[in-house]
């Protein structure tokens, strides 16, 4: 039985190193052979397959929304279970714990003692019988206390990053529509020449925070937004689309801000798609077909900040090929739909909707959009 201590010690080292890389280490881990990576690959494949069998879009999105938080709890439970089992193998191999000296009922007693020690219960009905067992018990108790402290400290930081991400996405709803589109963002900012520049700076910072937080804590990428038509992938796509439009068609002061925003947003799209080892692929033209390109041309020509030309249209096409394959890979893997370049006909923002029809309870008609939708100059 003494040889059972070797796999026990090896399992402890593997689990603790995985905990360190996932929780403590604030950088991306390149190594693919990791328990957490295998866990998320297998669990997401099963979860997304089951969700894909659901026909109703709202229900499907709700089911997918449970995966992020639930998988995080399952991973923590998996780590704790692994450590308890590992220490129980060591106790079982040495036979040094029991209710009385010289008595060793079996592996069940070792497993029970390991669990009570790891979670620092201190019941006292089972005790170590020699110096080696005492030392192992102290090490496991300290290990369990440190593990629980890491988890308690990790969750607030984790959810703060999620909250900051979602607050910015919610602000985008009123500025770019639901789902957010580049054309709508440009149209709603047309009356204020400084608004677009300010937004580009804000979204440059948002993309940088997204890159840093989601590379450090990749599980955040599975956390979905409150509304079905909102997601961090859709927001990233809308910002890249907007920066591309301004970068290609603007010759004024907005071009510099668009260049900086595009650079960090594309960096985020490329690096985050690489986390899942998703191969980039060219998207079909469904985001901007021939009719959409004509409508976009009219919008650009009507915007005093932009100058349309065929050469600049080709430049936009070139910019699209540098990021759309990566956000497309993220969209397909995470099942988060990409927005188009133009809003859908008669689109209504999420902030204007309610689960209860206003007329059913005697309220006024939906809020008018005059301030958010300036007249079409075309």
Is residue 374 assigned to a domain? no
pLDDT at 375: 45
**Is 195 found in the same domain as 49?**
no
What's the CA gap between 231 and 236, in Å, rounded?
9
What was the pLDDT predicted at 345?
75
191 falls within a domain: yes
Residue 19 included in any domain: yes
Distance CA 297, CA 375 (A): 17
Helices (H), 217-283: 232-249, 254-275
Q: What is the pTM of this model?
A: 0.84
**How high is the pLDDT of residue 378?**
43
Q: Which two three-digit tokens encode residue 270?
A: 């490329």
Of 338, 342, 314, 316, which is closest to residue 325 (Cα–Cα)? 338
The pLDDT assigned to 2 comes to 65
Asked whether residue 376 is assigned to any structural domain, the reply reads no
What domain range includes position 7?
2-153
pLDDT value at residue 346: 72
Q: Are residues 125 and 50 in the same domain?
A: yes
Half-sphere exposure of 58 (CA within 13 A, CB side): 2
Length of the chain: 378
From 187, 212, 204, 213, select the one nearest 262 (Cα to Cα).
204
Residues of the chain with pLDDT under 50: 370-371, 374-375, 377-378
Centroid of chain to Cα 199: 22
The pLDDT of residue 206 is 95
What tens digit of pLDDT does each residue of 80-132 get? 999 999 998 888 877 766 665 555 567 788 888 888 889 888 777 777 777 77
DSSP letter (8 states) at residue 125: S
Q: What is the pLDDT of residue 370?
A: 47
Looking at residue 177, what is its pLDDT?
Answer: 85
- Give per-residue pLDDT as tens, 186-203: 888 887 778 888 899 999
- Any idea what the CATH number is for the domain that residue 136 is in? 1.10.287.70
* 87 and 214 assigned to the same domain: no
What contacts 328, CB < 8 A, 6 or more positions away? 280, 281, 282, 283, 338
pLDDT of res. 98? 64
Residue 377 lies in a domain: no
Rounded Cα distance between 220 and 172, Å, is 19
- State residue 1's pLDDT score: 58
Which one of 115, 138, 153 terminates a domain? 153
Which conformational region is residue 344 in: left (phi greater than 0), alpha (psi within -120 to 50 degrees), or beta? Answer: beta
Q: Report how many domains make up the chain.
A: 2
Backbone conformation region of residue 337, classed left if phi is above 0, alpha if psi is from -120 to 50, else beta: beta
């Amino acid at each position: 039985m003494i040889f059972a201590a070797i796999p026990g010690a090896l399992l402890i080292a593997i689990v603790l190193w995985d905990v360190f890389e996932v929780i403590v280490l604030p950088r991306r881990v390149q190594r693919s052979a990791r328990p957490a990576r295998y866990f998320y690959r297998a669990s997401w494949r099963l979860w997304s397959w089951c969700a894909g069998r659901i026909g109703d879009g709202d229900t499907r999105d709700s089911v997918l929304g449970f995966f992020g938080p639930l998988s995080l709890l399952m991973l923590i439970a998996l780590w704790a279970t692994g450590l308890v089992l590992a220490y129980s193998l060591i106790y079982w191999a040495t036979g040094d714990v029991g209710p009385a000296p010289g008595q060793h009922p079996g592996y069940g007693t070792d497993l029970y003692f390991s669990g009570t020690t790891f979670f620092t219960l201190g019941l006292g009905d089972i005790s170590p019988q020699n110096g080696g067992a005492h030392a192992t018990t102290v090490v496991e108790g300290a290990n369990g206390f440190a593990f629980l402290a890491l988890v308690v400290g990790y969750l607030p930081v984790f959810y703060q990053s999620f909250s900051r991400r979602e607050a910015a996405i919610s602000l985008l709803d009123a500025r770019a529509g639901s789902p957010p589109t580049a054309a709508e963002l440009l149209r709603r900012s047309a009356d204020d020449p400084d608004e677009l520049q300010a937004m580009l700076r804000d979204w440059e910072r948002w993309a940088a925070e997204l890159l840093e937080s989601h590379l450090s804590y990749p599980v955040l990428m599975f956390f979905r937004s409150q509304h079905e038509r909102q997601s961090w992938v859709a927001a990233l796509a809308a910002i890249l689309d907007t920066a591309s439009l301004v970068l290609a068609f603007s010759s004024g002061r907005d071009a510099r801000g668009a260049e900086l925003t595009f650079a960090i947003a594309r960096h985020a799209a490329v690096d985050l798609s690489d986390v899942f080892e998703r191969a980039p692929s060219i998207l079909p033209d469904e985001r901007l077909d021939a009719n959409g390109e004509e409508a976009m041309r009219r919008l650009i020509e009507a915007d005093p900040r932009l100058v349309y030309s065929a050469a600049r249209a080709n430049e936009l096409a070139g910019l699209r090929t540098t990021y759309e394959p990566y956000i497309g890979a993220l969209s397909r893997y995470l099942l988060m739909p990409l927005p188009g370049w133009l809003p859908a006909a008669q689109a209504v923002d999420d902030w204007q909707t309610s689960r209860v029809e206003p007329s059913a309870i005697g309220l006024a008609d939906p809020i008018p959009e005059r301030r958010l939708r300036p007249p079409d100059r075309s």
